[in-house]
Amino acid sequence: MRGKHLWLFGLGTTTLCSWARYLATGSLRVDGNYPSTLVGALLLMALIVGYGSMVVGWRDLLERSPDKPRQLAFAGLAIASGMLPMLSNDVFSFLAYDSLAAHGQDVYTSTAALPQSVWFPWIGERWANTVCVSGPLALLLGRPAALADGHPWLAIALLRATWLIPTVAVMELSFRRLRDRPFFHAMVWLNPLFLLEGAGQLHVDLLALVALVAGIVLLLQGRPRSAWIAYALATLAKISFGPTGLWFCLSGAQSTSQRIRRLPAMAAVFATLAVVIFFPFWRGPATLTEPLRALSQMNPGGSLTEAVGDVAHAIRTILSPHATLAQATTFSRAEDGGTWFVASLCLRLIALWVGLRTFLDMLRSPGDSRTIALGTGVILVALVTLAGHRFEPWYLLGAVPFFGLACPDVWRRWWVAAAALAVAPTFINVLPPTTLILPIWSVICMIGVATLFLVSFRARFLDAVSMAK
């Protein structure tokens, strides 16, 4: 099958690029550690060819599901597990928080202890004053990596081995229990976003996705209480997976009274697990509120809000021809803050409108599993791409399994484009900051991602539920 070979070639090439980056820089660190301009340009071209081949291959696999998705998925996981940090430095920030938490230090309400971590020199400067925003479950499952005591190769190996155990177990569970859903497996386990950002770059979203899929499989097998536990674990690994509870509340419920009865039961399960898992980290209500405050105060990044701000900033620069270069390029939060506020408010109102329309359509189809799955996925994508203050490609992983259950053609095409365009901006991390092509690539990617968020808006968001029926 052409798709399978392209997919494997692309994944292998992308993994080799991560090793080439390491060999060219001599360090596993990403932020502040770049190859030469020539090597960076060559790596960028190799990534475009390799990752592009993977996306094209995945498109073919979605259109014609492979005969043996299990073997292909595990082969892909094995290849991606050999990937080194390349497009994100987040794994070292996580290791810093994890090492401190393992020694009883507070990582959720203060950054005072952060310089004490052996990983502090590995953290990018802009994140050195940010509290931990990963869920407590991720920190607990990262404890083995704390034994590495500053040795990066050992730390990454221990972290990967620990996280691969639940990943392999849930993959096997889904292949055995959902044998009649080959598209689901292709959508989730063969997804370039899962392999690159999850298994490859070791974002915490990998754990949340694995727990989420476990919950979906359990609920489809008629085990709602076990499914609610898995949902709670997903949310306690990454708080952004919380809205997926909509599917766990509605799926399989045949009446309004049954849905209502589920809410306190789900809340009780979640509260119990939250108390147990948060206990080692608890420093009062600030343990919950401080990470949320830190997230809300971050500048917009990779989102439509940032794109609107960039356009407004460019217009102001054009309208002020007498401004010096320093004045034109200096970041002005006072000016951009107003633009961000207005853009964010408008986009969130649009997302609210989309969400309410979709939710009402879901309520009108209580027995339609495809409508409920697609509706949940639509709401999650709207939250990430329209309402989100910041955007990174791995934020999309929470919506992937629901589109594995129901995915009209317009959404299948969108996911292929999303896998390609959403990741493209992170390719700049193989280029030194002084490279001439970097601003050009950034602008092209910004336009591409903004277009991705808005393309086929009506067909995807407003007519989506009717497509599932």
| Nearest of 380, 369, 315 to residue 181 by alpha carbon | 369
* Coil, strand or helix at 128: coil
In degrees rounded to 5, what are phi and psi of residue 301? -145, 125
How many Å from the N-terminal Cα to the C-terminal Cα in the chain? 31
119 or 467, which is more confident?
A: 119
Q: What is the per-residue pLDDT for 354?
A: 94
Could you tell me the pTM of the whole model?
Answer: 0.93
pLDDT digits (tens, 9 = 90+) for 191-215: 999 999 999 999 999 999 999 999 9
Q: In Å, what is the CA distance from 30 to each residue of 90, 123, 398, 439, 443?
A: 9, 9, 25, 19, 21
The predicted model gives 305-313 an average pLDDT of 69
Highest mean pLDDT among 39-53, 54-68, 289-303: 39-53
Q: Is the dihedral of CA 348, 354, 357, 359 positive or negative?
A: negative
Contacts for 71 with CB less than 8 Å, ≥ 6 apart: none
DSSP assignments along 291-313, one per residue: HHHHHHHSPPBSSHHHHHHHHHH
Round to whole Å and give the CA distance between 427 and 441.
Answer: 9
In degrees rounded to 5, what are phi and psi of residue 390? -130, 160
Amino acid residing at 375:
G
Q: What is the per-residue pLDDT for 279?
A: 95
Confidence grade of residue 312 (pLDDT, cut at 50, 70, 90): low
The predicted model gives 272-283 an average pLDDT of 96
pLDDT above 60: residue 322: no
Round to whole Å and give the CA distance between 216 and 224.
Answer: 9
Amino acid residing at 219:
L
Q: What is the per-residue pLDDT for 467?
A: 62
* Coil, strand or helix at 244: helix
The residue written with tokens 């694995």 in the block is 210
Lowest mean per-residue pLDDT among 16-30, 56-70, 394-408: 56-70
Cβ atoms 442, 463 nearer than 8 A: no
The residues facing 390 across adjacent strands are: 301
The predicted model gives 244-265 an average pLDDT of 90
pLDDT digits (tens, 9 = 90+) for 162-189: 999 999 999 999 999 999 999 999 999 9
Cβ atoms 72, 190 nearer than 8 A: yes
Round to whole Å and give the CA distance between 183 and 130.
Answer: 39
Query: Per the structure block, which two tokens stand in for 12?
Result: 């292998």
**Gyration radius (Cα) of the chain, Å:** 22
pLDDT above 90: residue 259: no
343 or 377, which is more confident?
A: 377
Round to whole Å and give the CA distance between 406 and 235.
Answer: 22
Confidence grade of residue 254 (pLDDT, cut at 50, 70, 90): confident
Q: What percent of the chain has pLDDT over 70?
A: 93
326 or 155, which is more confident?
A: 155
Query: Per the structure block, which two tokens stand in for 293?
Result: 């405050």
pLDDT above 60: residue 424: yes
What average pLDDT does the chain have? 90
